[in-house]
């Protein structure tokens, strides 16, 4: 596939996967090899990948309960559009309909958030997932002179993108799961999987084959919206 077409078609598969259709080992090896060739700051390769395909372990992970982040819900609201027309006009953000109704309010209170708002579909997502991956890193090993390990975080994003593009090129659906790396959830997952204390869950991902096609509007800014020629403010090329 043409690389630019592959990049444009890449999307997050926020749908259920076929639990009876596993990811072939040779395909998984290609995805992980793509990860290994991702550019990382000073070639530190500061990451570990945990691959989970044991259904019992995945089910156990799906039963872990953790509170929904009120900070996430409130800050997420600022990125929402409430119609496809609004989203296409903004060219950034996501549709509010992708979230529970309670999350579509600007001043939501803690008592209005329930675990069922997130955990019900999340459990089903995990329990139909043939393969779950966790990307770990050691925050004490920062890239040289990189405050807050900014370059190291960029490196983890490169690892993610390489895996994502390779998976999609093979016809395998890919879905980033950020909630497993949040607060109390992460602590429980690390205990469950025996992950050393010095390692942090950067993000998780689901691999598999979607049982349904979820069509949603994908938007991007035009090139002239973010490009400045020679000096800042001189838009376009």
- Residue 133's DSSP bridge partners are 51, 205
Question: What was the pLDDT predicted at 119?
Answer: 60
The secondary structure of the chain in percent helix, strand, coil, rounded to multiples of 5, reads: 45, 15, 40
Mean pLDDT across the chain: 91
In a domain, 75, yes or no: no
| Total domains present in the chain | 1
Query: Which of 76, 68, 127 minimizes the C-alpha distance to 98?
Result: 76
Per-residue pLDDT, 23:
97
Task: Find, among 56, 174, 173, 185, the residue nearest to 115 by Cα.
Answer: 185
Q: Is the pLDDT of residue 149 over 90?
A: yes
Instruction: Write out pLDDT tens, residues 93-136.
Output: 999 988 888 889 888 888 787 766 556 567 888 989 999 999 99
Q: Residues 84-95: pLDDT tens digits?
A: 999 999 999 999
> What digits encode the pLDDT tens for the residues 157-202?
999 999 999 999 999 999 999 888 877 789 999 999 999 999 999 9
Q: Is residue 179 part of a domain?
A: yes
Q: Is residue 147 part of a domain?
A: yes
Q: CA geometry: angle at 168 spanning 42 and 37, to 5°? A: 20
Q: Is residue 35 part of a domain?
A: yes
Collapsed DSSP state (helix, strand, coil) of residue 171:
coil
The answer as to whether 36 is a domain residue is: yes
- Token pair, residue 93, equals 């953000």
What φ, ψ does residue 127 adopt, rounded to 5°?
Answer: -70, -15
Half-sphere exposure of 137 (CA within 13 A, CB side): 24
Q: When comparing pLDDT for 109 and 17, which is higher? A: 17
Has residue 20 been placed in a domain? yes
Q: 43 lies in a domain?
A: yes
> pLDDT of 41-56, one tens digit each?
999 999 999 999 999 9
User: Which pLDDT does position 118 carry in this prediction?
Assistant: 57
pLDDT band at 215 (very low <50, low <70, confident <90, very high): confident
Task: Name the pLDDT band for 69 (thresholds 50, 70, 90).
Answer: confident
In a domain, 203, yes or no: yes
Structural domain range at position 156: 3-66+130-219
The structure's pTM equals: 0.92
Q: Characterize 109-121 residue by residue with b for buried, 16 or more Cβ atoms within 10 angstroms of its Cβ, and e for exposed.
A: eeeebeeebbbee
Q: Which two tokens stand for residue 209?
A: 């084959």
Helices (H) and strands (E) in the chain, counts: 9, 6
Q: Kindly report the CATH number assigned to the domain that includes residue 139.
A: 3.40.109.10
Per-residue confidence (pLDDT) for residue 123, from 0 to 100: 81
With beta carbons less than 8 A apart as the criterion, state whether 117 and 68 touch: yes
Grade residue 17 by pLDDT with cuts at 50, 70 and 90: very high
């Amino acid at each position: 596939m043409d690389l630019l077409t592959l990049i444009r078609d890449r999307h997050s598969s926020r749908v259920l996967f076929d639990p009876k259709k596993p990811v072939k080992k040779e395909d998984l090896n290609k995805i992980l090899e793509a990860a290994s060739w991702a550019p990382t700051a000073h070639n530190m390769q500061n990451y570990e990948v945990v691959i989970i395909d044991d259904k019992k372990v995945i089910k156990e992970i799906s039963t872990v309960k953790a509170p929904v982040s009120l900070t996430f819900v409130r800050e997420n609201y600022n990125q929402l559009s409430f119609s496809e027309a609004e989203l296409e006009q903004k060219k950034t953000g996501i549709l509010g309909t992708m979230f529970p109704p309670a999350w579509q309010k600007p001043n939501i209170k803690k008592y209005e958030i329930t675990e069922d708002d997130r955990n019900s579909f999340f459990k089903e997502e995990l329990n139909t997932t043939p393969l779950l991956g966790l990307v770990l890193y050691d925050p004490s090993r920062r890239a040289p002179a990189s405050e807050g390990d900014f370059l190291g975080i960029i490196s983890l994003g490169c690892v993610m993108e390489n895996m994502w593009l390779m998976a999609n090129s093979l016809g395998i659906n890919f879905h980033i799961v950020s909630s497993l790396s949040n607060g109390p959830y992460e602590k429980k997952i690390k205990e469950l999987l025996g992950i050393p204390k010095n390692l942090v869950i950067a993000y998780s991902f689901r691999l598999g084959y979607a049982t349904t096609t979820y069509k949603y509007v994908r938007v991007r800014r035009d090139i002239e919206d973010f490009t400045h020629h020679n000096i800042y403010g001189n838009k376009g090329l």
